[in-house]
Structures are given as C-alpha cells and as structure tokens.
Structure 1
Amino acid sequence: MSTDQARPAWVTDESIARWCGGVRRDAKRDEAEGPEPLAALAPFDLSPTAAVPTCTPEDVAEAVAGARVAQAAWAGTPAKRRADLVLAFHDLLLKRQDQALDLIQWETGKARYHAWMEVAQVVTIARHYARRARHYLAPHRVRGMIPGATRVQEVRVPKGVVGVISPWNYPLYLGVGDVLPALLAGNAVVSKADSQTALTLLWTRDLMAEAGLPTDLWQIVTGPGSVVGTALVDAVDYVCFTGSTATGRAVGERAARRLVGASLELGGKNPLIVRADADITAAAAGTVAAAFANTGQMCIHIERVYVHQKVYDAFRDELVRATRALRLGRTYDYSADIGSLTSKAQLAAVGSHVDGAVAKGATVLAGGKARPDIGPLFYEPTVLEGVTPEMAVCGEETFGPVVSLYPYASDDEAVDLANQGSYGLSASIWSKDTREAARLARRIRSGSVNINDGAAAAAGSIEAGMGGMGDSGLGRRHGAEGIRKYTESQTLATQRLLPLGPTKPEESSVTSFIRRTNGQLALLRRLGVR
C-alpha cells in the first residue's frame, strides 16, 4: 500500500456501513434527530476516517436492557459451547489479521509490528481463557461449620452486564482482551468504543458474530465519554475501565455510589534500573523496545531510566546509538520501527514536555523534534539527560516516545528513585544477578516488575495478573483474577444429620446444646482443626 494512501484499499463504504450497524442506536429515531456522527482523523495524514454514529444515554440504556435479556440465556449455555465460540473467534482473527492490522494502523498510526502485537496478545488471551475458564471458575469445596455434617461450596455466578470502557492506544487488545473473559464467565458486555478507534472494535464485533456470538450479547456504544461513558457506568453491574488516572477516579467514584465493582488500569511513569553488572547492549536494546513501542503511547512503557554511575556513560552511548538507528515511517508493512503519534493533543503534550525540559537546562541526546516531513504527527524517539524535578517531564506521564536518564550510586538509591511519585504500574531491572534483582523487585511499588526485559515479559504472561498500585489503578486483568472479577462468589451450604441449634426451646435444651458445642470446639482445638 502506498504511504500516501491512509485508508486501506479493502475498506469500502459498504463494509463501514455494516460495521456501524453494530452501534446500538434507537432504530425509530430519525437520523437528523440524533447527535452528529463523529469522524476521527487518520494520524498518517489527518484525513477523516469514517463517520461513526453517536449514541445517546437512552441508547446506552437500551443496549444494557437488551444485553440483560441476552445474558439470561447465555448464563445457561454450557461452558464448552462458550469456549468453542471464543476459539472460533481466535481462528478467524489469526486468519484475518491483515485486516485487523490495517484498521489499527489507519486509526492509530502505529507501526505494523506494534499493531501485530495486539493481535498476538488477543489470540493468546482467547486461547488461554477458552481453555482455562472452567478451571478458574470451578466450584470450590470448603470445610463446613460442622465437619461431616455441613457441606459447603463456593461457586461463581456472573455479574450480569459488564461495561468495558477502552482507550484508543490499543483498540484491539484493550478493547477486546477484557471482553473475552467477561463473556466466558457468563456475562453480557456493553463496550464504549473510543471515538478515535471505533472502527477496529466494530470490525472485531462483526468477526465475533461470524464466530457465532448471539446478537445482543456484546453491544457497542459510541460517543463522548462524558455522556456515553457516564451513562454506561450508571447502568451496568461491573465496570472495566482503562485510561487516565483522572478519569479513572471519576469512574471509580461513580461506580462506588451504586455499590458496583470496578477494575481500573490507569497511568504510569514507569522506571527501569540498570545495575552495574548488567549486559549493557541488551539493557539498551530492552530500553528502546520498552520506551518507544507504540510510539511511547503505552501505559507500561518506560519513561525513567536509572543507571548505575559505573556504567552510565557506556549505557548512555549505547542507548543513543540504538535510538538513532530506529526507522520512522507511515507504511502498511514492517519496514518502519516507529509509527506516528495518534492525535494532535499527544503531539502537543510530547513537544511541551521536551521543549520545557530543554528550556530549563535538560540536554537532548537523541531526537527531540517533530518530523512533519514524514507525517503530521510524527515525533522522533527522544533521549533526555539532566532532567530535574522542576521539569514536567520528570514526574508527569508523557505518554510519548521520550525517556530520561538519571545516574545513581547504590541499589538503595535506585529503589528510592524508582518509587518516587504516586504511580506504580510497571518497572524493570537489568542485572546478571537475577536473584538479587528479584530481591530488589519486591521493594519496588509496582504491579509488575520485569527482570532483564523492559515491559513485555510480564504483560505477555497471560496466566499472571496485570495491573497497578497507587495512582495506577485497582484490580487486575489476565490470570485468575482477570476472569473471576466478572463473577460474584456465592456460598452454598447444605446442613445434614445434625441441626445447628437446640432441638427444643426449653432452657435445658439450650444449655445442653451450648455445653455439647463447647466440648466440640475444645476438641477441635486439641486436634488442630482450623
């Protein structure tokens, strides 16, 4: 595909109309009566992508109501049938992945390899939960009140209708990766698509329908978060939100007023530590991958790099060399290492952080400027040195291709520096002594710590939970918690043989029961029974 052709050639007006038919809107409402459709701008050239209908709060209410009806039938569907459907989706996504990659690139401007990483992550999630959902959600036998006479099970029941609010930076992974376990747990889902990347999510819903998903079980609403997202939080039984810390606080507070649970993956200002014994070449390559993947628009990407003073110069030189070697491009193939930023707002934010730091004395070692010659939203991968606390780039999340270097003298200092600030999402330690690195990792306030990897090892390990501490959020995706959070724990207790109280109301019966029970309690204590 030509670099001057932003819209993929296979995307026709007819296909867009079909995808947009998946947006839940009042069929009786005249087109002129509703809100104006929204068209995002393609980052590669700032041309409009496609007009997507805008929903109203009433549309959200109808979507949730329809989902409730569908969920009642879905909850009774055998687990194997749910899993087979998700595996069918898995196969279709692998088969049609070039279409997914084209759409992701068109709407986000990311490099094709980084788009492919979304596909790889989603098919891994689909396969994992399709195979393991029954294990994660299996009834759990526990000891009853009276051993042998009280039979107790903890079972998992679906929440009902789950609301998923996903961001623009990973429209497939974050848009669909949370939907799959929610469906496998027996829920219906209503997703609020980000206005920048709605087509990717609508295309995926179309693919899920082809795999056999019932019509109303997964519905998509679109429009401004302040209107549509708020209405969704006010209507569903559980909220899964990924986005900024400020918005996450508002979502969590609103859900809490209804006593509705929420998982929130929020911002990060993620640190990477290079110890004196690290493999410098590998650490520099890992830093480049973790700092500049997805053009730095990744919640777990590295923004702060702390390097032991003994190897600081050698690491800095290797990092600068590797950064300058990166290829920027707006191609629909794998020839570019780094793609575009996604919006004018992101370009402005990145430029403001870098320019502000330079004005206050920081040094640009690589990059440091926009590249309109490549595309309107391109910005060079940037390495800064001499960053100080009064600079915004020091403590605020940049969410772009910018990393800052800082020397340190001891492990204790490195841990203290890594723990600065209120975020705690992801961290990285590079060292040949992995045992010592693991000890340091436990002292870092972060949901994930990668050793001799920048960010991908933990995030890609689907059986392990992923989430943040502090201002980086609540709850976990992936692993057991990634599906159990979409269920309620219900206790089923069956009493057999013996009653749980006096057989008669007379005082003698009561005192006899108490005396007998006290003896049993003392016996259990002597036997070491819980």
Structure 2
Amino acid sequence: MTSTTPVNPSRPATIGGVPGAPRTSRAAELADRAVGGLHNAPIELKAPFTGLTTATLPQATEHEVRAAFERAREAQRAWARRPVRERARVLRHLHDLVLDKQAEALDLIQIEAGKSRLDAFDEISATALVAAYYGKHGPGILAPRRVAGVLPLLTKAGQLHHPKGVVGVISPWNYPLALTAMDVLPALLAGNTVVQKPDNQTALSALWLHELACAAGLPPQAWQIVLGRGSQIGDALVEEPDYVCFTGSTPTGKRLAGRIAQRLTGYSLELGGKNPMLVLPDADVSKAAAGAVAACFSSAGQLCVSVERIYVHDSIAEEFIAAFARRTEALRLGGTLDYGTDMGSLTSTGQLRAVSAHVDDARAQGATVVTGGKARPDIGPLFYEPTILTGVPETARVFAEETFGPVVSVYRYSNVDDAVERANDTEFGLNASVWSRDGKRGWEIAARLRAGTVNVNEGYAATFGTVGLPMGGMKESGVGRRNGAEGLLKYTESQSIAVQRGMRLRPFPGMPPRIWTTLMTLGMRLLARLPRR
C-alpha cells in the first residue's frame, strides 16, 4: 500500500503538534474555555501523527465540576424561557459558522485524532447537518401537540415537552466534533443546559465548537466543558445531571447505567459494535469492494459503526476478496494536513496495542492475512496498515470482540439465511450493511438484521448522514437513540394535559351506573368506527 510523508510542509496548521505546524496561542485560547484547572496539574497531549505535544489542557477537580453544574442549573431557567425558534436560530447560525471556518477544525481534528482530512471532513458535514436539521425541524418536533380527547368536542387534550434541566454529556475521542454536535445541540434546543466532558485526547474539537456556538448567540454558561479523568470527576458527572448521555465501551456503559438508575435519572448510551456486512450473490462486486474499503477503514476503523465482519457468498468470494485487497493496498497512509492521504493513524498507543494483539492472535490461530497486518512506525508512531483476514477461527479474539481499528475478517457462506443468522450471532447490534443489485431484496434482508441502523449498498454513511433517522444500538450496543425526533425528545419530559368541559366522566346525578356504562359502551363502539383524521 502507498505511504506518504507524515507532514505537509507546504501549509502550516493552526495548532501545534505536527512539524511544519508552528505552535501558536490558538490551542491555549481554546483550552481556556474549559472549566476549572486551578488546583489540578494540567496534562500535555500528543499528536498521533508524530508523538509531539499538541496542547496543554487544564484538569478540573470534582468541586469545580459540581460548581459548573450549579451554574448550568441557574442558566437553564433563562435559556428555557427563550422561545424555541430563538434557540433554533442559534443552531442555524452555528451551521453557517461551522462551514465557514471548517479549515481550522479540519487541522484540529487531524492533529488531535490522527484522521485523514477526508475523514475529518465527515465530522464537519455531520456537525453542519445536525445543526441544520434541528434548527429547521426542532421547533415543530417540540411544538405542543393536540390529541383527540376521550369525548370529542367535550375533552380538549394535548401534549407538551419540557426540558429535563441540566444534561451531562460524556463524549469519546474517536469522533470529537460530530458526536459533540449530535448529543449537545439537540439538548440545548430542547431548553436544557449542558455540562460536557469530552475525552482529553480530542477536547480541543469540542472547545472549538463551543466557541462557535457562543459566537452564534449561545450563552456561555448554557454549555460548559469540563476536562478530567473519569476516576477523578466521574462521581459528579453521574450524580449532578438530570439526564446523562454517554458514548463509549459496553462495560463502562453498564457500570454507568447501574449508578444512574439508582437516582431514577434518564440516560442514553451508545456502546460497542461488531458490525457485519453481507454481500449477496447478486451484488456488484466492484462497488461492494469499494464500499467495504470505506466501511472498514474510514478513520482507521475507529468508528462505532465501522464494519468488522464481512460475509460474502461463495459464488463471488474469490472475486470480491481479490478486488477488496487491491483497493485496500492502494490506500495512501500518512499524516499530511491536506487531502493527499486516504487513511490516517490510530489515536493512542492503547489502540495500537489492541489492534496488534487481535491480528497477532488471529495469525497465531491459523488465520490468513490477505493484506496488511503490521504497524508502520516508518510513517508515524501509531500507524497500522489496513488489514484483511480470512480463515479466522471462532476461538480468535478478533472473531467476536470489537477491535476498533483497521481490521476486518472475511467469511464465506452458501446460504443467505445462514449469513443472516451468523451476522446476528453477536451480543452487539449497532450497525450493519447489505449489498445487492436488487434494492427491494436488500431492504428485506436489512429488516432481518438485529441492528439499530442498516445500510443497503453503503457501509454506514447513508444512515449516519440522514439526521432525520434515529441512530443507536440494539442488544449490548446501547440504550436510546440520537438524531431524528427521538434524539431531541429524549431530552424532554412529556406532559399530558386534558380539559374536560360539560359532561363529566361519571354518571349524572341520579343515573344508575348500569345505564351509564351501557351508554359509554355504545359510545366507544361508535367512536371506534369513525374515520381517522
């Protein structure tokens, strides 16, 4: 596979951490937006491309985090009183600012997460789409809703949506801008305030979006960002919010859910995945192979909806594997701050160790490495080649465990029903992909897969980019949904109000109950037969 030099000396970045990208005060400006840091020692972050220092970040104490929640609770009252259309205007303005100022964010995401520039742009587009969707459709979703009352004309009934209060958002390192937007923006639109803890490694992306949101008209106290390790500030993040939104591993999500449940507080969790791709016998092999490259190796596979298992029919397996391998080997690896590379690096040494361990274990147990299979320190400290495995035994760790890296296992099948069963044979259920020339057939197979999102003739981008659709996991891949109406209404308390006029819902004075119940029974029969409006 093609590699490139790890830097682009022709155009400097706006944040330090990459040779040719001089350190400026910009990282410090963004870091200053974080809450706290008066008592804990700051930490230095390293750029995945090079291992050089990216920024110095303050670390909040538990007391400082609890104080942030107090300020957020005070600010929430004024923010919720603003008309929802005024809150929506902030999001629409933010949409424009994100697109206008994307060059800086692209540098930022690449340097702190290690992505290729095209993968970084996916975060720009996702953020803009979320801001536009909720800025446009959010007021309608939150609008009071009239409902047919129990007695037509006499019972006026409706539903209101009130904000939860203060929402705690715990964000991961892998999609720092997009997942911040998907979780924070609908919470704000619903009238909540937010205290967010992004991962230290990619905190600058969240701080950048916070800066733009304030420029778009958001009161700074309505969204506060705290930095620190969960072991030090985790108690406050669980005990203070009125609702918790968490994205991360399944074991951590389970522990959080147990603690949050003790307070009877709502939560949503997006957790792990071992996402399958089914290539049906009638699939266009060339398109499926190209789609598999994007589905498996975007963001170096560090994507919750990334494909890690491919099931391909015997009749086209050899052709598909060969085409897939050719396209994978043509990927350009590198850390340039431009569109000259196809895949960046892993984000941390922990991820590099995990990916290497999965591949080494599979190889030791007899799996075949079709292509890839090794680290590339000649390009940068955390680069790992995109890797295709075949013949993976069920005893190998990579068979069932989430790898979260540029590694995919290819399996053959002869019967589509068997492929569906094998795809569903996992504790996870986040995303899946089906490839077929027949869209109707693809839809039918997709409906049989136990995953929260399923894409036909795409890996993940079709559902990921369709912000009007809910996104989330089944089984141990999570609870709740982000995006769509569900992703907004989860941040609200639903309230039902009914006004009864005239006739009471009990017998008239002096009327025997038997006559009353007979009349009500007749009335319910008639109402059930009225045409729906």
Shorter-chain TM-score tier:
over 0.9
Larger deviation, residues 139-148 vs 157-166: 139-148
Structure 2 equivalent of residue 292 of structure 1: 297
2:505 pairs with 1:495: no
Aligned counterpart, 1:524: 524
Q: In structure 2, how many angstroms separate the alpha carbons of the residues matched to 1:12 and 1:323?
A: 35
Secondary structure at 2:361 match in 1: helix
State the aligned residue count.
Answer: 519
- Structure 1 residue aligned with 2:122: 117
Deviation at 1:501, TM superposition (A): 3.9
Q: Do the aligned residues in 2 keep the contact of 1:105 with 1:115 (CA within 8 Å)?
A: yes
Could you tell me whether the CA contact under 8 Å between 1:192 and 1:228 is conserved in 2? no
For the residues of structure 2 that align with 1:529 and 1:255, how far apart are their CA atoms?
A: 45
- Is the aligned partner of 1:379 residue 2:384? yes
Contact 2:435–2:456 (CA<8 Å) still a contact in 1? yes
Tell me the equivalent position of 2:188.
Answer: 183
Structure 2 counterpart of 1:21:
32
Deviation of 1:440 after TM superposition, in Å, equals: 1.4
Q: Is contact 1:153-1:493 (8 Å) kept? A: yes
2:519 is aligned with what amino acid?
A: G
Measure, in 2, the Cα distance between the counterparts of 1:153 and 1:91: 35
8 Å Cα contact 1:150/1:495 also seen in 2: yes
1:90 matched residue in structure 2:
95
Please state whether the residue corresponding to 1:337 is helix, strand or coil. Answer: coil
Alignment of 1:41-440 (within 5 A): 41-440=46-445
Q: Distance in 2 between matches of 1:38 and 1:513?
A: 74
One-letter amino acid of the counterpart of residue 352, structure 1: A
Q: Distance in 2 between matches of 1:440 and 1:2?
A: 44
Question: 2:275 touches 2:306 (CA, 8 Å); kept in 1?
Answer: yes
Q: Measure the CA separation in 1 of the matches of 2:32 and 2:46.
A: 21
Query: For residue 447 of structure 2, what is the aligned residue in structure 1?
Result: 442
Q: 1:491 to 1:354 in 2, by over 3 A?
A: same
Contact 1:427 1:449 survives alignment (8 Å): yes
**Distance (Å, rounded) in 2 between the aligned partners of 1:314 and 1:16:** 48
TM-score (structure 2 length as normaliser) = 0.94
Distance 1:299 1:287, change over 3 A: same
Cα drift, residue 487 of structure 1: 0.6
* Aligned equivalent of 1:480, options 485, 489, 512: 485
Counterpart AA for 2:29: R
Q: Which whole-Å CA distance do the structure 2 matches of 1:84 and 1:245 have between them?
A: 36
Q: What is the distance in 1 between the residues matched to 2:410 and 2:450? A: 20
Q: Residues 17 and 53 of structure 2 are in contact (CA less than 8 Å); yes or no, is this contact kept in structure 1? A: no
**Partner amino acid for 1:357?**
A
Matches of 1:67 and 1:335, distance apart in 2:
43
Two-structure CA RMSD over aligned residues (Å) = 1.8
TM-score for both structures, normalised by structure 1:
0.95
Partners of 1:502 and 1:161 in 2: CA distance: 45
Q: Is the 8 A contact 1:74 1:187 kept in 2?
A: yes
Following TM superposition, by how much is the alpha carbon of 1:201 offset from its aligned partner in structure 2, in angstroms? 1.0
Unpaired segments ≥5 residues, structure 2: 1-5
**Hey, what's the Cα distance between the residues in 2 that align with 1:159 and 1:115?**
32
CA distance in 2, matches of 1:20, 1:306: 45
Aligned partners of 1:38, 1:450: CA distance in 2, in Å? Answer: 40
SS for the counterpart of 2:131 is helix
Task: Tell me the distance in 1 between the aligned counterparts of 2:161 and 2:315.
Answer: 53
Query: SS in structure 2 opposite 1:480?
Result: helix
Read off the aligned partner of 2:522 and give its amino acid letter. Answer: A
CA distance in structure 1 between the partners assigned to 2:129 and 2:341 by the alignment: 25
